[in-house]
Amino acid sequence: MRRRDPFDVVVVGAGVVGSATALACAREGLRVAVVEPRVPAAWHADAQDLRVFALAQDGIDLLDDLDVWGAIAPHAQPYRSMRVWDAAGGGELCFEAQRYGRDALGWIAEGALLADRLWSALQLAGVTLRCPQAVVGIDGDGVESGDGSAVALRLDDHSTLRARLVIAADGADSKLRDMAGIALVRHDYGQRGLVAFVQTEMAHADTAWQRFLPTGPLAFLPFRDGRSSIVWTLPDAEAARLLAVDDATFCAELTRAFDATLGEVVAVSQRAAFPLRRQLAERFVAGRIVLCGDAAHAVHPLAGQGLNVGLRDVIALRKMLRAARMRGADIGAPHRLARWGRERRSESAVAAWTFDGINRLFSTDAPLPTLLRGHLLGLGGRVPGMDGLLWKRAAGV
């Protein structure tokens, strides 16, 4: 029996990056399938998803171009300014959207909201959804020779999907990455990111706040209904302790840690904590399999850039695919994928090590770093144009 022609692209993983990748490929006229083991949960405005992302401008532009931002924006929260300072003293770094001719520096949105809206868009875009299903193996070496080369993926229902290009977007613990034989360099920080929603005496003023403490950075991100989403980086043992205390004790300790910048913390939601690590795949390409998002890289969350780095994988991949299509070329040609992989790994490595260095500099009470770091922040705010350059880099514009 004649085998069915392969898909152009199969995306493994339907998180935010995976779904955005699949939708971007579909918008380029490619025949796309998505493999995902769990049906994404429907999002509701009264639900509470502690996974909150700060979207930079280039990520918002991508979602807008994919025709999904309009369904996200009414439930997201803009932040129009950002203030960063060190508990040990020194200057403050401040970013103001108005100064850069912008209405907002970025937007805060729940992970479940992004995933839900992208999943709905996939269903309308004609993408083949193999869900709930999982990849259990790659046939042979993953590449069939000859004209129309394709990766052959075996699924847990005993079927096989063939594609000219396969994108592994199945998260930091990517199984497809392991199947493709791609090694990973990983560093465990010995820290956890404690997350929750909190209510404060004073309004958040559409501002993203970040205070550096010797134990790690503490961020208050503005959220809808006047609440703030916190991300508190703490040593493992301290995070475990603060998860166990009662709400009143937690609110009091959080108020002190944030120096009562927004007054007293008066209420807190449920809390959770996740381990922090830096990891980077040794390569982003193996044959016709490429890694995107957390499958390729994971960075410290102190700058809120993890998802933005992943969406930049999608932006670069879409640009490469569009160029190949315009030339009538093979979208999975080795030289093309290798060039994309080198460029994306280089940028991801710079991001990972930059955030690592910032975390190391500020998460210590050693005398010399303590004397220097506050003044470095202040210098960034005083040098003409420096704050604009830093913001443009973070925003990808």
Name the amino acid, one letter, at 115.
A
Specify the fold of 79-104+190-276+365-395: D-Amino Acid Oxidase; Chain A, domain 2 (3.30.9)
pLDDT of residue 386: 46
Tell me which residue of 15, 8, 6, 5 sits closest to 35, measured CA to CA: 15
Any idea which residue has 């399938």 for tokens?
A: 33
Tokens of 341: 């992989």
pLDDT of residue 353: 77
Cα–Cα distance between 373 and 351 in angstroms, integer?
19
Tokens of 22: 């699949």
pLDDT of residue 250: 98
pLDDT in tens, 304-322: 678 999 999 999 999 999 9
CA angle 138, 132, 301 (to 5 degrees): 80
- Give me the half-sphere count of Cα atoms (radius 13 Å) on the Cβ side of residue 118: 28
The predicted model scores a pTM of: 0.89
pLDDT in tens, 51-103: 999 999 999 999 999 999 999 999 999 999 999 998 877 678 888 999 888 99
Q: Which helix (H) or strand (E) holds 220?
A: strand 216-222
pLDDT of residue 207: 97
| Phi, psi (rounded to 5 degrees) for 276 | -105, 135
What is the CATH superfamily name and number for domain 7-66+112-185+277-358?
A: FAD/NAD(P)-binding domain (3.50.50.60)
DSSP 39-91: PPPPP-TT-----EEEE-HHHHHHHHHTT-HHHHGGGSEEE-EEEEEETT-S-
pLDDT of residue 100: 85
Q: Is 23 helix (H, G, I), strand (E, B) or coil?
A: helix
Question: In this structure, which long-range contacts are made by residues 259-266, counting pairs with CB atoms below 8 Å and at least 24 apart in sequence?
Answer: 259/87, 259/211, 261/209, 261/211, 261/220, 262/200, 262/201, 262/202, 262/203, 262/204, 262/209, 262/220, 262/228, 263/200, 263/201, 263/202, 264/200, 264/201, 265/198, 265/199, 265/200, 266/199, 266/200, 266/201
Cα end-to-end distance, the chain, whole Å: 51
pLDDT of residue 2: 37
Q: What percent of the chain has pLDDT over 90?
A: 72
pLDDT of residue 236: 97
pLDDT of residue 354: 80
The strand ranges marked E within 169-213 are: 184-200, 207-213
Numbered ranges of CATH 3.30.9.10 in the chain: 79-104+190-276+365-395
Cα–Cα distance between 25 and 127 in angstroms, integer?
10
Q: What is the DSSP letter of 6?
A: P
Which segments in the chain show pLDDT lower than 50?
1-3, 141-148, 367-371, 380, 382-384, 386
Any idea which residue has 């490619």 for tokens?
A: 30
Tell me which residue of 173, 180, 182, 165 sits closest to 317, measured CA to CA: 165
Taking residue 45's Cβ as centre, other Cβ atoms within 10 Å add up to: 10
Contacts of 3 (CB under 8 A, 6+ apart): 162
Numbered ranges of CATH 3.50.50.60 in the chain: 7-66+112-185+277-358
